[in-house]
């Protein structure tokens, strides 16, 4: 399906942080379609930094809204001052805006990528009257603390850091997380962390963001978030997707946990799928200027998404 004739229009998402700028993309040749709010992952993110995702999902038959995070893309606020509850409320506000637009519906759902998967589950659990379906892409089934520890452990091994040094590095990761969750001042943690500069593992463990006090304070608000209560509370269909080659998320553990938590799994539209060669973004190859990025998505992903959106979007009207 070609997205060449799709149209885009600006929207505003009112939130506690202020009015966030957004863009709605409509698929070609559709008078009406289910609505999908894209829920961004970690770090900064603006409406203009989604790459081909809005087009690909619109071409699956959805009207897609993406928006700035607070403090990004010229929008007010600061995403580092948020909690997951704030992010969930922001996503629900975007869903309400999307539902109000002509041609949207009957169903409106959330599609969260990476950290956005946690946020999407939380939002759907908090407001089942607003969210008709959820799609998570590489959204972990563990806490952010467990996910980050697993990611760092893999990175340390991949960088050839020896076993004793890996143990030392992970002790600091555990201490840093403990101190964050205990409410210790970020500046105190950063001061002690700076004393470790020069360790062979330092750059792997710091990962850039962990030298930022604002990011540490944000982490203190989210690190112990458990997605399973939100998953158990879902009252809408959910499509939970992973890449088998993902080196950011503990995929096997996440699948195990979600399999025991998602209501209606295997008894309706709710499903879990793992694309064997897909990475964290469900791509099967690194970017190549001679190959359209869409063609590097895991085979079967977009057809599965299209089928899910068609059926889940019809549930609200009672026709599915």
DSSP strand pairing (238-243 vs 133-137)? parallel
Residues 68, 75: contact at Cβ < 8 Å?
Answer: yes
In the chain the domains, ranked by start, together with CATH numbers, are 7-143+226-315 (3.40.50.1820), 144-222 (no CATH)
For 256-288, write each residue's pLDDT tens digit: 999 999 998 988 899 999 999 999 999 999 999
pLDDT digits (tens, 9 = 90+) for 197-221: 999 999 999 977 899 999 999 999 9
Q: What is the DSSP letter of 17?
A: T
Residue 2 has pLDDT above 70, yes or no: no
pLDDT tier at 5 (50, 70, 90 boundaries)? Answer: low
CA 186/CA 176 separation, integer angstroms? 10
76-133, pLDDT tens digit by residue?
Answer: 999 999 999 999 999 999 999 999 999 998 899 999 999 999 999 999 999 999 999 9
> For residue 30, with 0-12 CB atoms within 10 Å meaning exposed, 13-18 middle and 19 or more buried, which class applies?
middle
User: Is residue 253 pLDDT above 80, yes or no?
Assistant: yes
Given a contact cutoff of 8 angstroms between Cβ atoms, the answer to whether 255 and 227 are in contact is no
pTM equals: 0.94
CA distances from 131 to 29, 111, 116 (A): 25, 11, 15
CA–CA distance from 312 to each of 120, 189, 298 (Å)?
Answer: 16, 46, 22
**Is the omega angle on the peptide bond into residue 123 within 30 degrees of 0, that is, cis?**
no
Strand partners, 297: 283
By three-state DSSP, how is residue 308 classified?
A: helix
pLDDT tens digits for range 152-202: 999 999 999 999 999 999 999 999 999 999 999 999 999 999 999 999 999
Task: Compute the mean pLDDT over every residue in the chain, rounded to the nearest whole number.
Answer: 94
3-state helix, strand, coil in the chain (%, to 5): 40, 20, 40
**pLDDT for the residue numbered 3:** 42
Q: Are 274 and 255 in contact (CB under 8 A)?
A: yes
Query: Residue 159 contacts by C-beta under 8 Å, 6 or more apart in sequence?
Result: 201, 204
- The three-state secondary structure class of 19 is strand
| Two tokens, residue 254 | 């996440």
Beta strands (DSSP E) in 31-132 are 33-39, 63-67, 104-113
Task: Answer with the residue of higher pLDDT: 180 or 317.
Answer: 180
CA-based nearest residue to 308, from 282, 280, 273, 284 = 273
């Amino acid at each position: 399906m070609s997205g060449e004739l799709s149209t885009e229009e600006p929207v505003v998402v009112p939130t506690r942080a202020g009015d966030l700028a957004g863009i709605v993309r409509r698929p070609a040749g559709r008078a009406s379609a289910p609505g999908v709010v894209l829920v961004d992952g970690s770090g900064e993110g603006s409406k203009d930094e989604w790459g081909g995702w809005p087009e690909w999902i619109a071409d699956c038959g959805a009207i897609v809204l993406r928006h700035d995070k607070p403090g990004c893309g010229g929008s007010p606020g600061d995403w580092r001052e948020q909690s997951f509850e704030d992010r969930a409320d922001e996503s629900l506000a975007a869903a309400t805006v999307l539902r109000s637009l002509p041609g949207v519906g009957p169903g409106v759902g959330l599609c969260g990528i990476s950290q956005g998967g946690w946020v999407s589950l939380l939002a759907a659990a908090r407001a089942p009257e607003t969210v008709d379906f959820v799609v998570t892409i590489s959204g972990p089934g563990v806490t952010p603390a467990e996910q980050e520890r697993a990611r760092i452990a893999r990175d340390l091994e991949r960088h050839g850091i020896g076993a004793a040094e890996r143990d030392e590095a992970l002790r600091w990761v555990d201490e840093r997380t403990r101190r964050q969750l205990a409410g210790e001042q970020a500046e105190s943690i950063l001061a002690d962390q700076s004393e470790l500069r020069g360790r062979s593992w330092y750059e792997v463990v710091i990962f850039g963001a962990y030298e930022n006090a604002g990011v540490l304070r944000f982490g203190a608000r989210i690190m112990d978030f458990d997605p399973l209560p939100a998953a158990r509370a879902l009252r809408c269909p959910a499509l939970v997707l992973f890449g088998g080659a993902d080196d950011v998320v503990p995929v096997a553990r996440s699948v195990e946990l979600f399999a025991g938590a998602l209501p209606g799994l295997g008894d309706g539209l709710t499903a879990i799928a793992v694309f064997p060669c897909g990475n964290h973004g469900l791509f099967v190859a690194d970017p190549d200027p001679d190959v359209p990025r869409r063609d590097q998505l895991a085979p079967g992903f977009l057809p599965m998404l299209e089928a899910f959106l068609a059926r889940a979007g019809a549930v609200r009207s009672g026709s599915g």
